[in-house]
């Protein structure tokens, strides 16, 4: 896979597939050990920045597509 694909899962994490580097705010590498990772977007994971499934327990709600009225 030559490109990176990021998919917001409905009511769940951001799934990142393909070649990428994950670094913290100071530029320190965060070892993922794999080519596909789920990044928490509910904010409640105990393994941030990774998803640990807590979004299911808290019934996190978010669309898969872009929300209306918000541009990058
Ligand atoms: S999105 Fe899964 S724990 Fe936050």
- CA–CA gap between residue 11 and residue 56 (Å, rounded): 8
Look at domain 1-63 and name its CATH class. alpha beta
Domain-wise residue ranges, the chain? 1-63
Residue 50 binned pLDDT confidence (cut-offs 50, 70, 90): very high
- DSSP H or E run through 15: strand 14-17
Q: pLDDT tens digit string along 4-28?
A: 999 999 999 999 999 999 999 999 9
Query: How many residues appear in the chain?
Result: 72
Residues facing residue 7 across a β-bridge:
15
Q: Could you tell me the CA-to-CA distances from 51 to 48, 56, 69 in Å, in that order?
A: 7, 10, 27
Interval 47-56 mean pLDDT? 97
Q: Is the pLDDT of residue 70 over 80?
A: no
Nearest Cα residue to atom 2 of ligand 1: 51
How far does the centroid of ligand 1 lie from the alpha carbon of residue 5, in Å?
Answer: 18
What's the angle, vertex CA 70, arms to CA 24 and CA 60, rounded to 5? 65
């Amino acid at each position: 896979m030559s490109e990176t694909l990021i998919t917001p899962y409905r009511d769940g994490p951001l799934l990142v597939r393909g070649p990428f580097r994950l670094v913290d705010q100071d530029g320190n590498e965060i070892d993922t050990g794999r080519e596909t990772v789920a990044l928490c977007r509910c904010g409640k994971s105990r393994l941030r920045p990774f998803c640990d499934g807590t979004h299911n327990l808290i019934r996190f709600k978010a669309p898969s597509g872009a929300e209306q009225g918000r541009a990058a």
